[in-house]
Amino acid sequence: MSANPFDTPPLLDAARSLRGPGNMQSKRMRLNSVRRYAVNHLVTGLAVLSTLLVIAPLIAILAYLIYKGASSLNLAFFTHIPAPVGEPGGGMANAILGSGIVLGLASLMGIPIGIAAGVYLAEFGRGRLLATAIRFTADVLNGVPSIVMGIAIYSLIVMQQKHFSAFAGGVALAVMMVPTITRTTEEMLATVPHAIREAALGLGVPKWRTVLSVSLKTASPGIITGCMLAFARVAGETAPLLFTALGNQFWSYKLTEPIAALPLQIYAYALSPYDEFHRLAWAGSLVLIVMIMVAVSLVRIYASRGVLKGAS
Amino acid sequence: MTPPQMTIEREPNPSMPAKPLTAVTNFVAASVAAPEGAPSPIRQFLRARGSGGVADKTFAAVMLVCALSIFAIVLFILTILIARSKLTIAQFGFHFLTRSAWDPVSGDFGALPFIFGTLATSLLALAMAVPLALGVAVFLTELCPQKLRAPISFVTELLAAIPSVVYGLWAVFVLVPIMRDSLGPFLSKYLGWTGFFEGYNFGVGLLTASIILAIMILPIISSITRDIMLAVPTSQREAVLALGATRWEMIRTGVLRNARIGIVGAIILGLGRALGETMAVTMVIGNHPDISKSLFAPANTLASVIAGEFSEATGDMYLSALIEIGLALFLVTIVVNAIARALVWAVTRGTPARAN
């Protein structure tokens, strides 16, 4: 802070100088500078205070979560299915598996489409009106509330098939992943130097091969980052799964049946009146957050080391 | 492709026998190669592999289809929501948005209480979050020692990574008791005369929902504002400082004034997020379709009424009303986000997309 030489006459000095002799003009100027430095320090203080105020809830949330979650985690949480009401014990093994299945399904559908759309925007659509429109639509789709995505997929798949299913949940999450992945893929491809593409094309490599083996390969660290971030984002989504995957108290592997998912189970247990269920909800939240944070942290480390700094 | 493969092979791949010169090869190849008699091995190889024209076109088409699918998704959501809510659209028309009745038993529906709840919680959350977010952004870009910058921005981005349902869980077990036992009584004692803090305080209600919303949208607003402020050229700052400004005057005239359009965009993006936020709000807002002046009163938002009542909606009319609420939410967030994106784009063109 002391790097700025214009801060050097501190408040006290300015105030002291008021007492010295001088005409009205300079006195007013000095008074003015007292005010200016006072405002400067006030605002600096406010900025620091607001930063502390923002960090405090995060620390509070994380600390409370770790405290409550860690004290209720045990092996049974990872191996057992939920116990009936009133019985102690039980776990969320089926929800962890269910989340894995739904997220895997979403990634299978969302990642290829997202990357391909990004490839179009960066490699084929540069400067075209269509590409600009698609880019804008992707950004807007990114902001559509997840609950709307949930009822749209419900209206499409669940109403047609007349039953809730893991597949519908996967589609809802996939749709949410696409815009994020598209935009990061495009941004990452834009950082690939043109000289590399031209070198490949100059050797007679067809365009499609250039895109796949040169552009995408060069940009792959950033694209993987984008995919991981999209994954982390949908991993905690509850709203789109409420009316698609629905949740399940038992083991379920079939894509055509309702399936449990960690966020759904946390939601259901948080609103239940039983202490045992609250305990499981905290444990589930801790597991979910640790999963997401590990993914995000890995991405950040990866991104800060990789060629494409600032990818995340 | 690895570099050795990119160099031209001397021997053509046996699985792709050299084809004779046909009309398929391009014009240049034909005109150059023909007078020399036997084509060179390089040309033979290139010819053997084909021009790649068909593959290129197919590839480009596949990429285009995937890109167009983004349009398709938006259009599709719109059409399906309209199709499924045509019952209530036919019955109530645009008055659906201004009616305050919500009676599933007699089939009388209106969205006004939820629009009120959504606007009240979002605007309150913005009022709490925006000053703080600006403070954080100013601190991170202008005041913070270099060493602290990365950890603090990392921490604020972690806030963005916490799932909504976990915020909700925390709010139910920590924030609600605080509101009920200490903050709520404090507010009604000292600010009760304003009329905003009247009535019975259950701990759940508009104010609690707004506080958790504010915590959730803070990181989005502050990280975008930070990016926008970083995009202001250093020469601007130096110029203002050289005129004898204090640091705050430099920030105000040199940075904030230049970045104001982008900051407004960031705030509107935060608003878009707050409008559609579902889980945490559903868990602490009290879920009651009331319009009340008191911030302690339970309410409901567009998103939370869908989350709370969709699975118990039995009649066709009930379902249709809820889907029409979803449609309204969809349209509002599309408009809000489009405005925000346009503003942010105008300021930071070419900076990486943020996963928000």
**Tens digit of each residue's pLDDT (9 = 90 or more) over B191-239:** 877 777 877 788 888 999 999 999 999 988 988 898 888 888 888 889 9
List the one residue out of A234, A293, A250 whose CA is nearest residue B165: A234
What's the pTM value of the predicted model, to 2 decimals?
Answer: 0.82
**Cβ-Cβ contacts under 8 Å, A241 against chain B:** none
**Cβ-Cβ contacts under 8 Å, B63 against chain A:** 116-117, 119-120, 123-124
The pLDDT tens digits of the residues spanning A79-123 come to 888 877 777 777 888 888 999 899 999 999 999 999 999 999 998
Residue B27 has pLDDT above 60, yes or no: no
Mean confidence (pLDDT) of chain B: 82
Which of B8, B158, B248 has the CB atom closest to A58's CB atom? B158
The gap from C-alpha A219 to its chain's centroid, in whole angstroms, comes to 21
Give the closest-approach CA distance of B198 to chain A in angstroms. Answer: 26
Is the Cβ pair A144, B276 closer than 8 Å?
A: yes
**Range of lowest pLDDT (A283-297, B60-74, B273-287, B321-335):** A283-297
Q: Is B164 an interface residue toward A (CB < 8 Å)? A: yes
Please compute the mean of the pLDDT values over residues B80-84 and round it to a whole number.
Answer: 92
Q: Distance between CA atoms of A33 and A38, rounded to whole angstroms?
A: 8
In sequence order, the β-bridge partners of residue B109 are B102
Residue of chain A nearest B312, judged by CA positions: A243
Is the Cβ pair B138, A180 closer than 8 Å?
A: no
Mutate to test the interface with A, among B63, B132, B281, B344 (most CBs of A within 10 A): B63
Is the Cβ pair B311, A57 closer than 8 Å?
A: no
Residue A19 has pLDDT above 70, yes or no: no
**Cβ-Cβ contacts under 8 Å, A55 against chain B:** 152, 155-156
Question: For the complex shown, is ipTM > 0.95?
Answer: no
Tell me which of A303 and B4 has the higher pLDDT: A303
Is the Cβ pair A60, B174 closer than 8 Å?
A: yes
The pLDDT tens digits of the residues spanning B162-196 come to 899 999 999 999 999 998 888 888 888 888 777 77
Mutate to test the interface with A, among B78, B165, B312, B322 (most CBs of A within 10 A): B165
Residue A4 has pLDDT above 80, yes or no: no
pLDDT of B3 reads 44
In sequence order, the β-bridge partners of residue A246 are A259
Distances (CA, A) of A270 to A96, A264, B121, B169: 17, 10, 22, 6
- Encoding tokens for residue A199? 């070198």
Cβ atoms of B118 and B210 within 8 Å: the answer is no
Tell me which of B16 and B155 has the higher pLDDT: B155
Tell me which of A288 and B2 has the higher pLDDT: A288
Helix (H) or strand (E) holding A34: helix A24-72
Q: Is B46 an interface residue toward A (CB < 8 Å)? A: yes
